[in-house]
Amino acid sequence: MVTKRRVGKPESYLPLPPATFHILVALADGELHGYAIMKGVEARSEGSVRLGPGTLYGSLKRLLEAGLVEEGGERADPARGDERRRYYRLTPLGLSVVRAEARRLDAMVRAARRKKLIGERPA
Amino acid sequence: MSAERIYRLLLRAYPPDFRAEYEREMVLLFRDQCRESDVRTLGFWVRVIWDVVRSAPALRAEATRTVEVIMKLAAILTVLLGAYGILGAMNEWGAASQHAGTYVLAIVLGVAASLLLLGTGVGILLQKRQAARLALVASLVCFVAARLVFPWMSIFLQLIGFVLPLGLLIALYWPRKSSTLGAASIVLVGLAVPPLGRAQALPIGRWTGSAGPMDRPAAHPITFDVTAVGDSLQVMLHPDRGDDYRLDAIRLRGDTLGFTLLLAHALPPGDLPGGAHGVRCMLLRQGDRSYTGTCTGPDGMRSDLRMVPPGSTQAADTVRDLPLTAAQRQSFVGTYSVTLPMGGRDVLLVFEENGLLKAHSSHENRTGRLLYQGDGAFRPEGSNFVITFVFDSGRAKGFTGHREDGVMKGTRTQ
């Protein structure tokens, strides 16, 4: 859970919960509304992570409070009708945090690979 | 029942604040899901319900925890400060011989304000926001009333008493939806508090009084100008001759008034301030609302000072109540055998009580204060005559009183 804390080094926010990381990664593409975030996460995780409305907006609420995400205004998405939707985008701090988390995960994956835990089929 | 209606019912599991902020967005997202899924399948509803079950309790716990922590702290603070304020008021009540009714009323109002503040906390926890707002407004009213009847309240207690409920009131009204009533209440309370803070226990206006060296009863008349400047009081002392002084570091606590005298005007560079500059005074409030006490200079020299508020029924220049030192008071304490004008006899017991000189008449079975008029003369409180003591070796040995019906004489027996 990302809790509100004093703005400090991006590393102080790590590790991120999986849902939070996926949301931040989705927002790295630019401003998105809730449904677009949900579909982006689902597609990127190849269906392994499915965020329901409660999980998504609960995470967004915490990310807004932590200053990692900000609202980008309300407007209609032409692809989804004329109802106005709230858009969200990464803050510079949010971008630093998601990069730091990606580096942390990358280091862990490389370590696992060196141990031959991934990257080749087990004997 | 439509799927959206069922989902709206499920959304009630979330905390009200969260729903107010995100319900519309969540319903929009749910509609999108409905368009792309078959709402008639069990799998769809299992996913929906699982999402609610997984996220709602956590959000509710977060919301409750935040409010709970704030309210616990506020409750502990309220109880501690309330207890501190009430104990302080009771302590001062015990020390003061007058104004018992005022102290009792202030304590009752303080207890009521504290209980209402605690009630506010319970109201917030139970999400009865309207009840909490009413309790807050009522606590503010009680506190304002307590401040008005008990003007000796400490600045610290006043800050907490006004700022804590006002802050909670703003937090409760903080508009997610605009509220004219809420905004008007906050503005009204905000406007009402600063003037109340300025209202001081020292009446504004021209005070009279007297000052003189301790060992010499002769006192010089002086005046004080008490004015409100911004949020604070300014008190200027004008002696009948010499420089004016400004009262600095004024501290009013219980029946005690303390301050330091500073020269009112700046001195040329190199000049050292003299006179009463730097003198520290400590006065005690008297029954007639005047203040009497002593001042001590940087060199240890002590003098008497008396301040009489404007509109006092006992003007300083008509019936005096000059201060006496403990040593001076002791020189009069004793038992006197009195011969009354018509030849009757009385025994007068002169004694000291709470720093005041009093006399008890056996003949009239009455006790009253002796008001010092200077030069060894006293006016028994409520009487229209004066008794003048004669001294032997620094101790009163007897007195003479000129009453309307003749002369009375007293001789010390003890």
pLDDT digits (tens, 9 = 90+) for A57-91: 999 999 998 899 999 888 888 777 778 899 999 99
Cβ atoms of residues B324 and B291 within 8 Å: no
Contact B48 A34 (CB under 8 A): no
User: HSE (CB half, 13 Å, CA atoms) of B256?
Assistant: 13
- What's the predicted TM-score (pTM) here? 0.39
Residue B88 structure tokens: 């302080």
Query: Rounded distance, CA B248 to CA A39, Å?
Result: 71
> Which of A1, A61, A62 best tests the B interface by mutation, with the highest count of B CBs <10 A?
A61
> B50 — contact with chain A (CB < 8 Å)?
yes
Nearest CA in chain B to A1: B58
Q: What is chain A's pLDDT, residue by residue, as a tens digit (123 residues)?
A: 555 444 568 888 888 988 899 999 999 989 999 999 999 999 888 888 889 999 999 999 999 988 999 998 888 887 777 788 999 999 999 999 999 999 999 999 999 999 888 876 544
Contact A54 B54 (CB under 8 A): yes
> Which of A35, A48, A64, A80 best tests the B interface by mutation, with the highest count of B CBs <10 A?
A35
- The string of pLDDT tens digits covering residues B67-76 is 667 666 766 7
Nearest CB to A54; choose among B21, B32, B56: B56
Which residue ranges of chain B lie beneath pLDDT 70? 1, 66-68, 70-72, 74-75, 78-79, 81-82, 85-86, 88-103, 127, 150-156, 171-201, 214-219, 228-233, 240, 253-254, 266-274, 287-288, 311-319, 384, 404-405
Residue B49 structure tokens: 């319900």
> Which of B25, B30, B34, B176 best tests the A interface by mutation, with the highest count of A CBs <10 A?
B25
> B12 — contact with chain A (CB < 8 Å)?
no
Residues with Cβ within 8 Å of residue B119, at least 6 apart in sequence? B131, B132, B135
Give B198 to chain A, closest Cα distance, Å.
Answer: 38
Nearest CB to B26; choose among A50, A57, A80: A57
Q: Is A103 helix (H, G, I), strand (E, B) or coil?
A: helix
Q: Which residues of B touch A38 (CB under 8 A)?
A: 29
